[in-house]
Structure 1
Amino acid sequence: MIKKIIGFSFITALILTSCNAKKEQNKEEVAVNNGIITPYTAEMAENAVIYEVNIRQFSPEGTFAAVTKEIPNIKKLGVKILWLMPVYPIGEKNRKEGLGSYYSIKDYRGINPEFGSAEDLKKLIEEAHNNGIYVVLDWVANHTAWDHPWIKQHPDWYEKDKNGKLQSPYDWTDVVALDYNNKEMRKQMIADMKYWLDDFKIDGFRCDMAHEVPTDFWEEAKPQLADGKDIFMLGETENTDLLVNAFDVAYGWELHHIMNDIANGKKDVSAIDVYMDSIPKKWQADDYKMIFTSNHDENSWSGSEYERMGDAVETFAALSYALPGIPLIYNGQEEDFKRRLKFFVKDSIDRNPNAKMRGIYEKLGELKMNNLAFNGAKKAASYERLKTSDDKSILAFKRKKNTTEAYFIANLTKDEKSVVVPITGVYKSYMSNTEITLDANTNLKLKPWEYLILVK
């Protein structure tokens, strides 16, 4: 009897221990989902999508609160990283047009009252974290507004011309350039960046015109900002030296311009081949790019993706997910938004309940999130160009990681094409959810700008 009791007690203890372990595991899962114990790591970017928020133009209200309400919908797009364009007070001296440029910063630790309060921003960040989305702030280290306090307090922190006058970079007359020979200014710049990491619990930065600031500043700043942890560092640059010890990801400007040129018949697919072949020669193995069909600069100054790419918009959006790298959705692209946003005044995007691209981005986001073959960051899936019967018109490649593989085939012309591709087997055409069988003799007919993503 004693043995039975002891045995029963032992089994009961095991069951209770197991239940408690499951409870603790569930607690951990909840905590992970709520962003409590999942600080950003480099691995998180492998299947990430970035969403760039232009807060002023994101909604009629143009506020943090309006963005916060939309975070569940942004999450449906597969977004893991939310990039907030500058949230700081905008300079008034030499301001451009009515509301001025977000990139003319009056106070690195302040909040633009146009957008709401510091508490409103914290709520936005908290809601993003609760939805498993990391938040990065736009940082402008190259220059400040003319009425930033440093102008009067530390005039020696700024560049001067031969006559001792402060200088604006380029034709940006609303800002004045900082002097990175000044060590005290560097120290304060790093402290101001760290303020947002510590007090607002952001996960990193998108750094404006990163190549205009000395590389050694970013290399000095990165370990102090990270403090032993990973933070996401996106540099607006294609300078390879900035990714050695400072930034994780660079802009894919070169590829972006190639896509525009192909869409307009100025280049063919061979331009992409030359670009892809150049990457291992110029970049480190774990460097990667942010790939985009639009962003705040392109939309306002060069035109919407529809102006620049016409009927090829969806195809190049899909390509931005299929290539190694991290894709970007800019403010309203999911709404089939087809016009340029004004930059210096209020001009909010139009919401479209019947938007085609929302469904496309949601489906591409699922693919990016769940298929290892489309991992694109420091441990990206491999890229193998496939030779077709028409390599100037057809882009075909294979992506593979571990045992997972997938294929991308696209007709990058305005004409219907018939092509043979070296793919054999039965696959699912991911976007249409239909079955497709290919062999060495299959003559694949592709409509203008038609693309296929083939998965097992």
Structure 2
Amino acid sequence: MGNKIPDEGPRIYNLFPLLVGSIPDWEQRLPEIAAMQFNWVFLNPFHAPGFSGSLYSIKDYYQLHPLFQGESQESAEQLLREFVRQAENRGLAVMMDLVINHTAKDSPLVSQHPEWYLHEEDGSVHSPFVIAPDDPQNVTVWEDLAEIDYRQRPAREELLAYWKKLLQHYIQLGFHGFRCDAAYKVPGEVWADLIETARELNPEIRFFAETLGAPLHQVEQLHSAGFDYFFNSAKWWDFHADWLLEQYEQFRHIAPSIAFPESHDTERLVAEWGGEERYSRLWYLFTAFFSAGVMLPIGYEYGFRRKLHVVETRPKDWEEPEFDLTSFISAVNAMKANTPVLNEEGPQRRFTSPDHPLVGLLRQSEYSAEKVAGLINTDTEHSHDFDLDDLGEAMGVEVEAIQEITPFYPTDSLARHQPIQVAPYSMRIFHVPEQGS
């Protein structure tokens, strides 16, 4: 594969490194990840952390977290280069987390370059904080972090030169992409400069903006930065409210997006919904359908319940599988890879009433007559039927032009012209290829 980036939308497996251990242990997971038909591996920060031990409190961007170094005598560069090479050999591109809105408070950069940071009136380094949207008195301050100052001034050029050198280092090790943590906290013009520099080194490099929870204006200021993908909020949809489809329409003109049923920042889906396999099946199928990209964290395929923790998680936290979704996930990923309209972000609309237990979504290509429709039964107790002629009308074609592409369903499932029955809390997907219209 070399440094070639996959042509399809990203199907991302988040290999949370604290749960796995040393870099050679990461390599042991690659055959299984590839067998599930993912095309990207995302690594959370693997750098040496500051005093808090948090992966996102980075003390040294060039040194490894001791757990990931393990017993190996090889350098960080050798270990990472070999991991990326092993992933490439299995058709997997590797992205790493790029955390440049803050560093650890005990990073040497704080004393070496105090002018790069925001400071309080007493001269101490400013820690980032967040105010709960529903309670202004509820303020969370990250005391282990030092917030970087991106205001326009001479010191900013030095700071950007440091980040450009960091990008060069990891691009030369073979990394194919960067997930940009809290991208909205860094000015779009800064990202544009960094992304342009990275693409001069490797035109195939990909940048993924993490902007969850950001106000719309902070996302829109990234419009011209050059990001390839954003992460969307599909995980929090109730299948009925209008906001997700409105957000999809707003953001698809900035960049295509990536959905996920859970992430390293959220509770595990199984912990939220109980251990029934059908919930995890539906949510992965829905998120794979909804947008150009999809991501899941390690352990989702086995129904893990324990939330991933950026300080405390360790390999001993590996759980007994609740179930095994690896075959299902492989089939969903293959469906996505083989359906071009599921790898772009053309128009998407709901064709059922907002309060109906069956949710019908129609996605259309910007580039061809290809269409795909999903029917989601949100009722946990009862099956619901959908009339085949109504599906043809929603998709704008004769019924004979429609094929089912739901994993493990026959493609000619509609041949008998019976109503479509959707089982409780499940989803079925139907496709009109370009030549079918």
TM-score interval for Structure 1 and Structure 2 normalised by the shorter chain: 0.7 to 0.9
Q: CA deviation at 1:411?
A: 0.5
Q: Deviations over 1:27-86 (max 9, x none)?
A: xxxxxxxx23x533xxx353330111111113xxx1111111221110111111111110
Mapping 1:230-241, distance limit 5 Å: 230-237=204-211, 239-241=219-221
Q: Which residue pairs with 1:395 in the alignment?
A: 359
User: Are 2:58 and 1:105 equivalent residues in the alignment?
Assistant: yes
Q: Distance in 2 between matches of 1:341 and 1:286?
A: 30
The answer (yes or no) to whether the contact 1:430–1:455 under 8 Å persists in 2 is no
Q: Kindly indicate which of the two structures has a greater share of residues assigned to helix.
A: 1
Q: CA deviation at 1:186?
A: 2.3
Evaluate the alpha carbon distance shift between residue 243 and residue 127 of structure 1 in structure 2; reply closer, same or farther with a 3 A threshold. Answer: farther
Q: Distance in 2 between matches of 1:384 and 1:105?
A: 39
Q: Which amino acid aligns with 2:343?
A: N
Q: Which residue pairs with 2:168 in the alignment?
A: 194
Q: Which amino acid aligns with 1:338?
A: R
Evaluate the alpha carbon distance shift between residue 185 and residue 373 of structure 1 in structure 2; reply closer, same or farther with a 3 A threshold. Answer: closer
Q: Which residue pairs with 2:215 in the alignment?
A: none
Q: Which residue pairs with 2:133 in the alignment?
A: none
Q: Deviations over 1:337-371 (max 9, x none)?
A: 12223432243353667833212211111111222
* Residue among 307, 325, 333 paired with 1:365: 333
SS at match of 1:110: strand
Mapping 1:78-97, distance limit 5 Å: 78-92=37-51, 95=52
Superposed CA RMSD in Å reads: 2.5
* Residue among 211, 222, 229 paired with 1:249: 229
* Residue among 420, 429, 437 paired with 2:414: 437
Q: Which runs of 4+ in 1 moved over 6 A?
A: none
Q: Deviations over 1:170-199 (max 9, x none)?
A: 11111111112332122212222221112x
Q: Which amino acid aligns with 1:112?
A: H
Q: Deviations over 1:241-272 (max 9, x none)?
A: 3142231111213x2222xxx2xxxxxx332x
SS at match of 1:190: helix
Q: Distance in 1 between matches of 2:65 and 2:405?
A: 46
Q: Deviations over 1:173-231 (max 9, x none)?
A: 11111112332122212222221112x11112111111112222111211011116131
SS at match of 1:296: coil
- The TM-score with structure 1 as length reference comes to 0.78
The answer (yes or no) to whether the contact 1:90–1:145 under 8 Å persists in 2 is yes
SS at match of 2:97: strand
Q: Which residue pairs with 1:206 in the alignment?
A: 179
Q: Distance in 2 between matches of 1:110 and 1:386?
A: 49
Q: CA deviation at 1:274?
A: 4.3
Unmatched 5+ stretches in structure 2: 70-74, 130-140, 213-218, 393-398, 433-437
Q: Distance in 1 between matches of 2:240 and 2:391?
A: 18
User: Are 2:36 and 1:77 equivalent residues in the alignment?
Assistant: yes
The answer (yes or no) to whether the contact 1:243–1:250 under 8 Å persists in 2 is no
Aligned length: 387
Q: Which residue pairs with 2:245 in the alignment?
A: 276
User: Are 2:102 and 1:133 equivalent residues in the alignment?
Assistant: no
Q: Which residue pairs with 1:321 in the alignment?
A: 288
Q: CA deviation at 1:415?
A: 3.5
Q: Which residue pairs with 2:142 in the alignment?
A: 172
Evaluate the alpha carbon distance shift between residue 319 and residue 151 of structure 1 in structure 2; reply closer, same or farther with a 3 A threshold. Answer: same
Larger Rg: 1
Unmatched 5+ stretches in structure 1: 1-34, 263-268
Evaluate the alpha carbon distance shift between residue 244 and residue 413 of structure 1 in structure 2; reply closer, same or farther with a 3 A threshold. Answer: farther
Q: CA deviation at 1:165?
A: 1.2
Greater alpha carbon shift after TM alignment, 382-391 vs 315-324: 382-391
- The TM-score with structure 2 as length reference comes to 0.81
Q: Distance in 1 between matches of 2:320 and 2:271?
A: 18
Q: Which amino acid aligns with 1:230?
A: E
Evaluate the alpha carbon distance shift between residue 390 and residue 156 of structure 1 in structure 2; reply closer, same or farther with a 3 A threshold. Answer: closer
The answer (yes or no) to whether the contact 1:128–1:135 under 8 Å persists in 2 is yes
Calculate percent identity across the aligned residue pairs.
22
